[in-house]
Amino acid sequence: MWTEALGELVGTFILVLLGDGVVAGVSLNKSKAQGAGWIAITLGWGLAVTLGVYSAAFMGPAHLNPAVTLAFAVIGKFPWAWVAPFIIAQILGGFLAGVVVWIQYYPHWAATDDPATTLGVFATGPAIRSYFANFISEFIGTAVLIFGLLAFSRGKWTDGLNPIGVGILITAIGLSLGGTTGYAINPARDLGPRLAHAVLPIANKGDSDWAYSWVPIIGPFLGGIAGALIFVLLP
């Protein structure tokens, strides 16, 4: 179990490092990628997930997402005894990645005087704050994610190509459904770096918006379970 949990830490670290990294590059002042836009962000996240899965798959199942771990356990595809260690490893990987993104873009925090932009590198936030609507967005996006992952497992993918399919799925969700909340669809992707934002001495930062933080946690957990249950009802 511990090798598999280490894989979750490493894979989630790579995922969040590259995912938050593209957000930082697009968002922070004086970055050469500043202003590249939403397409660059969604494509960057899709590639981040693909590379995160490749980085972890030789050690374990490469969930890299507590919503995946919980949903698979609910439908009997993952042992319950491994759920807590996996989730802890995933959140820790996200936290450590947030720290490294802060180091990577160190001079750019002082050049960026908008606290919301800074927080947006580390954690998701809504385009229009409506907790119910934001929850539904995260619920739907994660349901699609889990349904897609399970569908891939029933198809004729080779093991080597499956992570590429997952990356395409993440990109598609981001382009089509992600504009409302920034599509966390992964509690570790949001909570881990949000914790890093809270504790790091980031220049010009504001608060970590803990009032919103339950949305990218509860929404993905429940949406993931729903997507898994819908899938198992199919013939």
Full DSSP string of 99-145: HHHHHHTHHHHHH---HHHHHHHHS---SS--HHHHHHHHHHHHHHH
Residue 180: how many other CB atoms lie within 10 Å: 17
Residues 43 and 51: their CA atoms lie apart, in Å, by 12
pLDDT score recorded for residue 4: 95
| Integer Cα distance of 11 and 176 in angstroms | 25
Q: Does residue 156 register a pLDDT over 80?
A: no
The pLDDT mean for the chain works out to: 96
> What percentage of the chain's residues is helix, strand, coil (to nearest 5)?
70, 0, 30
Q: What is the pLDDT of residue 208?
A: 98
The stretch 168-173 carries a mean pLDDT of: 98
Tell me the mean pLDDT in the region 92-118.
Answer: 98
Considering only the C-alpha atoms of the chain, give the largest distance between any 2 of them, rounded to a whole number of Å: 55
Q: What is the mean pLDDT of residues 86-113?
A: 98
Taking 80 as the threshold, does the pLDDT of residue 47 lie above it? yes
Side chain identity at 169, as an amino acid letter?
L
CA quadruple 162, 148, 1, 196: dihedral positive or negative? Answer: positive
The rounded percent of the chain whose pLDDT value lies above 90 is 93
pTM here is 0.95
**Per-residue pLDDT for 200 more than 90?**
yes
- Please say if the pLDDT value at position 214 is more than 70: yes
- What's the pLDDT band for 157 if we cut at 50, 70, 90? low
